[in-house]
Structure 1
């Protein structure tokens, strides 16, 4: 990758944004070193690492990286015999703490959450826990870098003596400044310090009153800072104690530095592992901030981007686009007027490629595909060079010549306004020739141009497709929506007309243009309209397909549950049957044994009544099975009660409750179960209840005798205020219809509509109780309301 291309595509700005999400200077160092890889295996590993960190953030919301410092220089100095400062030692202890926290965090997550995190587990597996060393440093030094009394017994004793001596000095000096003469001879009644010795401020004219040593004087010379003779010895003692304190602190720091040196290799290795981990989470946090997803990587030159958004544009301004390249066609020629967004599209493709090959996720929808290229070449922007006396055209050609020397089948080439800056005919011819050359090399190409001659290029070359950026004639502004398969048109006549140019001038201009050009423009306009309609219909079809898939899954789940229940019932029935047969077999054997005994004892003189009695006992030994009563009961209930539309029934085979909608034929009913409607045999239905008949009221007659109130109210897509009005009206209608229970479908969505509807239902006068629907009824997307 050429540095010039990285600069043109603004990869440096991506790295600056990435740095904002780093937890330490270590990750920032990795960002500075970041460079796109040309190896698919390495890119896949980098992408997997980013995705692992993203998984951790999704499940836990954070990663414990606080306190991590780059202490490699501290360790290096300790290893050559240097004594580390308290701040350097506390940074080392803080890094040991961060390493320990991260190791425990990942290990616990893998164990408790059962999440597969191979790269993170490998990194933390190489971290050495040095808890004793960490605690030793923190016992000796506080977070502000001050050596604590607890660092050693000697230091504790020295500081106790120091505090005692300081108290004596201050007490002596305070007695002096409180004396009756002090007010006249002192400039101020305070004790201060000069040259590490306690002094008092004495007026110049009374310098001989206290004797002792003069350590300083004020800027005017009117005040002298004198150490009175009476405290000189105490100050001398205090200084000696301070020297001992300093020596003891140096000894403690040397001892701690030696400990760091002893474990230096392990500490440095911990830092390197934490550097990789911090960088992983830096990429993950950046991906989250730009709403990016992990692309599937390949080395076949295939790019598929769904709703791709340029990461450097403001979120409220950027337009998402679908971009496909490398399968049906290997080159895209984007035509159309300037300022339409062609260059942004070009940069988006190039920048996404650099990001993906650097292990960064791209701001596009899940399922996007990116390719690994050996090189990305770009000729973008106005590169007029005053220093080299080159025109815009010449400067572009110098760049293009260099690209043609290097390009091959493993390259991605981006041309912006190819052939611009010279005679239109010559420029268009040159652009076509350059594109042919790059295509023959097998490279992937995306080029923008405003030459109309290149519109035909996409139709005359295999593997090339036209594209354009949509322009809204009504607003006279580009929509920045990429239309692949539709060449661009100038829109000059439409824009001029909207701006107020006279119709006769426009018509005269049209007459000067060849008829075939007008036909092409009409064809392009038709293509644009057709593509818009196709996109709308495609989105609608996608929505319907997703809903159908969800319904299919729910039905499959219900069928599986039904089959499992049926199998369990069969197994239970077989077990009971086997038990009955075994009991009967044993009973028969017992009877036979008794017959044989009778025959033996009575020498075959068995009386008739004894044989008849034995025969009866054998007959009773035949197993008798209890017949299933569910369907029998259902038949009895249904026979006793003629089923009607609106009746609440139970579907025996599914063990689900529903309402009868209408009778299909003599033996089948259409049944509403939650959001599902299905045909069910009448013998598989069990009558439960019937809505109470509604008394004739004037209010009800307004709607007419044939008015039908549905058993469900669908609020999906409604605004909050309209939804509540519909709920209120619907509940009144349901009460008038005498329904004991109704379903209100609010969908899942963001949950705002669902929450609002349920809050309203809690306080409604007609609501007895409510619950979310079962899986078969629509789950959390439906509230089942029982009416009073």
Structure 2
């Protein structure tokens, strides 16, 4: 059971109010106001699972039909003791039954479609009572305005029919007075009602001209509202029928109330279940509005929050922090300046725990984890009690003593400014002693303090970790970022210096503080610097990893395209070969059939030239002859040697021989690639005749020093483009088919400029980024025409 004091101290009730704003009914709001954290791990898991199902329904369906829900439990209780419900109360009862029916149908449709798994919501749907008969009965008797309809019973229809006839007769007679010669005696030509009877307004001076009953007079006394003798009897009949109508309506309401009495317990169940379902979707809506996630829960006291934001601080102002402890370290001591965010950090951890144990999502990133604690204790803020004449220190001690009596190893204990309000030396000693007690008994503890003595506390105890809130000396303000593993340090000297305090005063103050204090501050400053450097390195590593992943995905896609194309070509080749074989087989069968014919019909008269002709047809029909003759490589006109230019048959590219690896293989340079290829895949290319020796000498001279790659890293943009232009010209003169331009990654400006130039160049066929072994996004590979 979570202590009520902790609920107030950690502002849990404010969270309940925030969640309650998303409830659709007063029942849901009341349920949320009574919501409390559970210490049962199974119940906590179920509450979070229900919320998760609600979030899934909202994400896929957009909304949930939760209208028309009223708290009809008081109506049902009154019906149970024999009370008669009003038409409005009966209408609300029918509306609740209808809301349950619509919600049940909504969940059944989701279950049928199967796109969302909602087993817990379906169990609540199955528990909703089916009271459709009572709903129809009430709706058949009472209309949307809360009036009992004529169709409620045959007797009511008869009475109202007669009443309308009598009222019509009365009106006809009174209209005769209004339109006749007596019209001048009336204050106004209207028929009105007084004492539930139809009357006409007569001027005071003509009172004697009308018999009948005076029911009322105007405030001035000049007009009398008279029921003439001619309509008194008819009005009496109308009154009698109205009495019968009321009796029949009462009988109908009594009958409907008796039906409600019969299902009162089912109505209680319906209201409770609708309230629970309303809570589930209110939590889910709150989570969606505040960018919350469902945390993982454990029973080992482990807490790991990723980018946690205090839920009561506006999203555009709050600073998100990573907080982790509970395994290797079961105690956290946070130091740092005032207003730096220490208390907010404590409240964030405590409030997140209470929210999660209530089934409410928390404003942190996916993958966050919280523990289910039996008890949560918090001593936060200045709770000085004037009535009890207690000081701040005494007030805190009263609370702490109570905590020490109740906490156990499965508790979360939070102390704010532990030991504050008394002598610093005694307060620090007391704070250390209290932390040892709570930490030593196995509880999870977080504490904040100003005492420098506690900065060394985390280094002396194996399961304790220091933390601090960052302070920006340049802006003289806290950043509210939590630094785990780094104790806070005093910034008094730096702040004083920034504010203009003379240097000699600061130097004297530093000399007074002592060597140990300066060494500790230096160590803390070094830790802060290392922490910032590590964070920067981690950020760069993440960027490189993202880039590598993108490149890997691109290469994987290219490989898949290659494999698909390769398979397609193989399939086409196999189909072509099959057709060739089929044609050859048919041709062979035809030749054999003709030979048999010759033998049967001509016997020994078969001429030699006929046999030769048949053999030729058989030879030409063989598929291997058709394919191999076409693909057979011509005999090399000259023996291959290093530096010869060759054509690689399998790729259709030109290359240069580098050296012979074995009797059958060569190393070949193709553009910037070196490949090991069989000699049978190489075709010698004769060098072109040198018609202009001088020009060729120039080309050879260029070829001798033009590299296959151009490195532009460190170049200014304008100089780099000039170099690219000259390099492309040299490469074309050197008869290069492919070159690489190294521009690096950087801001991307140089890369964009190079690619923009290549795109406009008439002799650039295409370009692409370098592959995995070619430099990746830092290199552009261009293919030349």
Query: Is 2:670 the partner of 1:667?
Result: yes
Distance change (3 Å), C-alpha of 1:211 and 1:365: same
Query: Is 2:33 the partner of 1:65?
Result: no
Q: Distance in 2 between matches of 1:517 and 1:200?
A: 102
Distance change (3 Å), C-alpha of 1:333 and 1:176: same
Distance change (3 Å), C-alpha of 1:162 and 1:425: same
Match of 1:448 in 2: 448
* Structure 1 residue 471 displacement after superposition: 1.8
Q: Distance in 2 between matches of 1:602 and 1:160?
A: 120
Of the two, which has the highest radius of gyration?
2
Match of 2:28 in 1: 27
Distance change (3 Å), C-alpha of 1:550 and 1:368: farther
Superposition pairs for residues 553-632 of structure 1, below 5 Å? 553-557=553-557, 559-560=559-560, 562-563=562-563, 566=566, 619=619, 622-623=622-623
Q: Distance in 2 between matches of 1:742 and 1:165?
A: 99
Q: What do the CA deviations read for 1:35-91 (whole angstroms, capped 9, x no partner)?
A: 111122221111111111111111222111111223334344445554432222222
Q: What do the CA deviations read for 1:660-693 (whole angstroms, capped 9, x no partner)?
A: xxxx9832569xxxxxxx9999x9xxxxxxxxxx
Q: Distance in 2 between matches of 1:701 and 1:562?
A: 38
Residues 310 and 318 of structure 2 are in contact (CA less than 8 Å); yes or no, is this contact kept in structure 1?
yes
Q: Distance in 1 between matches of 2:744 and 2:144?
A: 61
Match of 1:147 in 2: 148
Q: What do the CA deviations read for 1:522-553 (whole angstroms, capped 9, x no partner)?
A: 33233323323332332343244334334434
* Structure 1 residue 580 displacement after superposition: 6.9
Match of 1:287 in 2: 287
Superposition pairs for residues 21-60 of structure 1, below 5 Å? 21-60=22-61
Residues 52 and 120 of structure 1 are in contact (CA less than 8 Å); yes or no, is this contact kept in structure 2?
yes
Q: Distance in 2 between matches of 1:283 and 1:543?
A: 36
Query: Is 2:535 the partner of 1:521?
Result: no
Q: What do the CA deviations read for 1:348-397 (whole angstroms, capped 9, x no partner)?
A: 11000000111110011111111111111111111222333322212212
Match of 1:326 in 2: 326
Q: What do the CA deviations read for 1:225-265 (whole angstroms, capped 9, x no partner)?
A: 32222211121121122223323333443444454455555
Q: Distance in 2 between matches of 1:82 and 1:740?
A: 94
Which is worse superposed, 318-327 or 606-615? 606-615
Match of 1:548 in 2: 548
Distance change (3 Å), C-alpha of 1:17 and 1:508: same
Residues 329 and 464 of structure 1 are in contact (CA less than 8 Å); yes or no, is this contact kept in structure 2?
yes
Structure 1 spans left out of the alignment, 5+ residues: 644-663, 671-677, 684-699, 746-788
Q: Distance in 2 between matches of 1:286 and 1:246?
A: 49
Superposition pairs for residues 697-776 of structure 1, below 5 Å? 704=722, 706-707=724-725, 737=761
Distance change (3 Å), C-alpha of 1:152 and 1:466: same
* Structure 1 residue 520 displacement after superposition: 2.1
Query: Is 2:431 the partner of 1:392?
Result: no
Residues 375 and 410 of structure 1 are in contact (CA less than 8 Å); yes or no, is this contact kept in structure 2?
yes
Match of 1:777 in 2: none
Q: Distance in 2 between matches of 1:130 and 1:18?
A: 30
Query: Is 2:502 the partner of 1:502?
Result: yes
Match of 1:176 in 2: 177
Q: Distance in 2 between matches of 1:154 and 1:317?
A: 69
Q: What do the CA deviations read for 1:73-118 (whole angstroms, capped 9, x no partner)?
A: 4344445554432222222222233223222323323433622222
1:272 counterpart SS class: helix
Superposition pairs for residues 54-133 of structure 1, below 5 Å? 54-78=55-79, 81-112=82-113, 114-131=115-132, 133=134
1:105 counterpart SS class: helix
* Structure 1 residue 289 displacement after superposition: 1.8
1:512 counterpart SS class: helix
1:324 counterpart SS class: strand
Structure 2 spans left out of the alignment, 5+ residues: 634-646, 656-666, 682-717, 729-739, 770-785
Distance change (3 Å), C-alpha of 1:596 and 1:266: farther
2:209 counterpart SS class: coil
Residues 724 and 754 of structure 2 are in contact (CA less than 8 Å); yes or no, is this contact kept in structure 1?
no
Match of 2:167 in 1: 166
Q: Distance in 2 between matches of 1:507 and 1:407?
A: 47
RMSD (Å), alpha carbons: 4.5
Q: Distance in 2 between matches of 1:636 and 1:744?
A: 24
Match of 2:240 in 1: 240
1:315 counterpart SS class: coil
Distance change (3 Å), C-alpha of 1:186 and 1:402: same
Distance change (3 Å), C-alpha of 1:596 and 1:529: same
Residues 215 and 227 of structure 2 are in contact (CA less than 8 Å); yes or no, is this contact kept in structure 1?
yes
Which is worse superposed, 575-584 or 526-535? 575-584
Q: Distance in 2 between matches of 1:259 and 1:568?
A: 75
Q: What do the CA deviations read for 1:618-669 (whole angstroms, capped 9, x no partner)?
A: 6566556979x99x9x989996x989xxxxxxxxxxxxxxxxxxxx983256
* Structure 1 residue 280 displacement after superposition: 0.9
* Structure 1 residue 18 displacement after superposition: 1.2
Relative to the length of structure 2, the TM-score reads 0.76
1:505 counterpart SS class: helix
2:487 counterpart SS class: coil
Residues 128 and 270 of structure 2 are in contact (CA less than 8 Å); yes or no, is this contact kept in structure 1?
yes
Distance change (3 Å), C-alpha of 1:322 and 1:219: same
Q: Distance in 2 between matches of 1:496 and 1:428?
A: 26
2:488 counterpart SS class: coil
2:447 counterpart SS class: strand
Q: Distance in 2 between matches of 1:611 and 1:742?
A: 58
Residues 296 and 369 of structure 2 are in contact (CA less than 8 Å); yes or no, is this contact kept in structure 1?
yes
2:292 counterpart SS class: coil
Q: Distance in 1 between matches of 2:262 and 2:561?
A: 64
Residues 598 and 604 of structure 1 are in contact (CA less than 8 Å); yes or no, is this contact kept in structure 2?
no
Residues 669 and 679 of structure 1 are in contact (CA less than 8 Å); yes or no, is this contact kept in structure 2?
no
Q: Distance in 2 between matches of 1:680 and 1:223?
A: 122
Distance change (3 Å), C-alpha of 1:500 and 1:210: farther
Match of 2:533 in 1: 533
1:313 counterpart SS class: coil
1:438 counterpart SS class: helix
1:171 counterpart SS class: helix
Relative to the length of structure 1, the TM-score reads 0.76
Residues 325 and 331 of structure 1 are in contact (CA less than 8 Å); yes or no, is this contact kept in structure 2?
yes
Residues 28 and 276 of structure 2 are in contact (CA less than 8 Å); yes or no, is this contact kept in structure 1?
yes
Q: Distance in 1 between matches of 2:570 and 2:254?
A: 81
Q: What do the CA deviations read for 1:297-318 (whole angstroms, capped 9, x no partner)?
A: 1111111111111111222322
Q: Distance in 2 between matches of 1:509 and 1:201?
A: 101
Residues 668 and 676 of structure 2 are in contact (CA less than 8 Å); yes or no, is this contact kept in structure 1?
no
1:35 counterpart SS class: coil
2:354 counterpart SS class: helix
